[in-house]
Amino acid sequence: MIDVNVNLSRWPFRRLAGDDPEGLAARLRTRNVSRVWAGTFDGVFHKDLSSANERLVNDCTRYGAGILVPFGSINPKLPDWQQDLRRCGEEYKMPGIRLHPNYHGYPLTDPVFANLLHLASARRLVVQLAVCMEDERTQHPLMRVPPVDLSPLPDLLKNEPEARVVILNSDHLHNVEQLQKLAAAGNAHFDISMVEGVGGVARLAQKISVRRVLFGSHYPLFYFESALLKVREAGLTETERQAVLEENARGMVAS
């Protein structure tokens, strides 16, 4: 099983079970997870992303024992972000990066995002785009962060046919028209962490093809078992289930 949506470090607003890297890796191993695409909460809130990414790599190496695969954070509104991107690809040999446009203060219409997408694609890096981190109703009252507006993304993907993008933390079925535009525009995949409702994963697979659906738990902010139960109750065939749990993600980093 490959979980494409996990974060290391500490969420600043409350302690979480699993917010230490050693414990997180141990818990996921007991659930038969073989690979974790690991970002870092520090990448959401810290300004020194070079140090945040270095800590992420060190923690994945020290505690991961092969299970934790680092996905570095890039903020294209900070100075020298291109160097952060270079280090992720060249020095750390990461398969991808993770973006938080709403927390970092830029819309997808900002030319800097198109530039980032182009440079990441040239380096064959998977680009994970987090739509949000938690429901607006549970956010700290002094830190309300609206979700990312994905409407500009289909046109951007058409201009970058080599881009490989994963949309994280969105209930995609709330906007089926946008979902289908994204799926038709390019190599876009979608995690299941915030897909809601009975049969939600099955309906998502029906709308965009099971080959575009990835297993993502958003652990430790969300319970890992919640994502696992969504797959179990979806009524997928064994082939479809394996595609969601592992093969689709493996194919993204192998292509």
| pLDDT tens, residue order, the chain (255 aa) | 999 999 999 999 999 999 999 999 999 999 999 999 999 999 999 999 999 999 999 999 999 888 999 999 999 999 999 999 999 999 999 999 999 999 999 999 999 999 999 999 999 999 999 999 998 888 899 899 999 999 999 999 999 999 999 999 998 777 888 888 999 998 999 999 999 888 899 999 999 999 999 999 999 999 999 999 999 999 999 999 999 999 999 999 876
Please report, for the domain that includes residue 179, its CATH number.
Answer: 3.20.20.140
The pTM score is: 0.96
Closest CA to 130 of 231, 228, 44: 44
Maximum distance among all alpha carbons in the chain?
A: 48
Domain that holds residue 228: 2-254
Q: Where are the beta strands (DSSP E) in 211-254?
A: 213-214
What's the structural domain count of the chain?
Answer: 1
Distance separating alpha carbons of residues 122 and 138, to the nearest angstrom: 38
Distance separating alpha carbons of residues 84 and 118, to the nearest angstrom: 15
Sign of CA dihedral 56, 61, 65, 71: positive
